[in-house]
Structure 1
Amino acid sequence: MNVAILAGGKASRLGGIEKGMLDVCGKRVIERLLFTFHDCSTVIVCRDEEQAELYSEFASVTIDHYRNAGPLAGIHAALKHFRARILVVAADMPFVKRAVAEAIYDAGEKSGADAVIPAWSDGKTEPLLACYSFSAVEEIEKSLSSGERKIMVPVQRLERVIFYPVEKLKSLDERLVSFLNINTPEDLRRAEELCSSIDLDGE
């Protein structure tokens, strides 16, 4: 499984800290994710050279080709790096379960879909814990070249997209903590509260 961890932006709502470096349950988020995917082909996608230098001590890194273009640029850089199907994981998601990741990736492998995007019953999507084929790169480049930064815009133009019901993943992750991401101090407090009540091995 090819895994791209998107190191992401500057976390303005968290005082500009690198979210992958946040300590959650006694370990940095990036270390948690690398442990979960320890036997995969993994790359950390960084916004610029400075961020790449910071993360290069942990794993292989690559840098956005389109600067200041958000996570869509990270997905693009990851596809260009692997030139193959990838699982994308945001670096602010400390509790991603390996089984959930594999289910999403396997759905792409078995179907040959251009993208597999988890979707909630209310229509909200999770494009930052999702699977993308290299066949998606052309439409992503079109969006980035025109200044469009929303991930779902090029996704909606793809021919074969699977919206994977998040509810189907409950058998693998009962509380669906895989989709918890840390954007605010409140999110961080919630993550810390979960530490004592969930399995932290990523399996």
Structure 2
Amino acid sequence: MRQHVQKPLGVILAGGRATRMGGGDKGRLDLCGQSLLDHVINRLSPQVAGLALNANGDADRFADTGLPILPDSVSEFPGPLAGVLAGLDWAAEQGRDCIVTAAADTPFFPLDLVAKLQNATKDMPTPLALACSRGNDNKIWRQPTFGIWPVALRDDLRSALQGGLRKVVLWTDRHRANQAVFDASAHDPFFNINTPQELASARQIIEAGR
């Protein structure tokens, strides 16, 4: 049985093209005096042993974050799994066994994200689990950009991506990933920002909580 004796590394997934926001770096949008990316960094960094950013293009535009920038190693923007793979390769270079990922456009994700993901994989030989939300209807919705991922499966993931696989849950189901379920009855902690209207809603959420 694998024991969790240390925090994992964290990777923020920001490799998308933000087409519904008009392109550019969605993480640079202002959300109540801080960038969207800063909100995510502030929530994830206390939960992990080290943090990196998966992003494509000129890495210098993120120099102010002080984070390692991990570009996709698979071409043509294949989606979040490419960011996961970049993070796993980074973790392998540091001799670590897993990473936890979070999306760069989700400023309210749980402060116990990592703890619950680790708990969900405590009896697994390799740590693989996705975060899920459960609403008032008791339905469970998987959050495929929030998960814990094992370095041991990085070559399998690389082969899958090179073979054309793009959908996260197809790969995680193949490896019998567990789930870490979070309560979304009051509000969805994985609310993400894809449109100007959703950015306005996020501002209202923050202002209502002040």
Structure 1: how far apart are the matches of 2:9 and 2:209?
26
- Name 1:164's counterpart in structure 2: 180
- Name 2:121's counterpart in structure 1: 108
Matched, 1:65 2:65: no
2:187 partner amino acid: R
The CA RMSD over aligned residues, in Å, is 2.2
- Name 1:42's counterpart in structure 2: 51
In structure 2, the gaps of 5 or more residues are: 1-7
Kept in 2, the 8 Å contact 1:62–1:78? The answer is yes
- Aligned residue pairs total 191
1:86-137 deviation digits (Å, cap 9, x = unpaired):
1100111112232233322343355444411123453531011111111332
Aligned mate of 1:75, from 60, 69, 84: 84
Aligned mate of 2:130, from 117, 131, 134: 117
1:144 partner amino acid: L
Kept in 1, the 8 Å contact 2:118–2:127? The answer is no
TM-score, L = length of structure 1: 0.83
In structure 1, the gaps of 5 or more residues are: none
Structure 2: how far apart are the matches of 1:87 and 1:149?
19
Aligned mate of 1:145, from 158, 162, 168: 162
1:126 partner amino acid: Q
Aligned mate of 1:30, from 24, 37, 41: 37
1:188 partner amino acid: L
Matches within 5 A, 1:172-191: 175-177=187-189, 179-191=190-202
Kept in 1, the 8 Å contact 2:54–2:83? The answer is yes
TM-score, L = length of structure 2: 0.81
Structure 2: how far apart are the matches of 1:150 and 1:140?
12
Secondary structure class of the residue paired with 1:186: helix
Secondary structure class of the residue paired with 1:136: helix
Kept in 1, the 8 Å contact 2:10–2:45? The answer is no
Deviation at 1:186, TM superposition (A): 2.0
From the superposition, tell whether residues 186 and 113 of structure 1 become closer, same or farther in structure 2 (CA, over 3 Å).
Answer: farther
From the superposition, tell whether residues 54 and 90 of structure 1 become closer, same or farther in structure 2 (CA, over 3 Å).
Answer: same
Secondary structure class of the residue paired with 1:3: strand
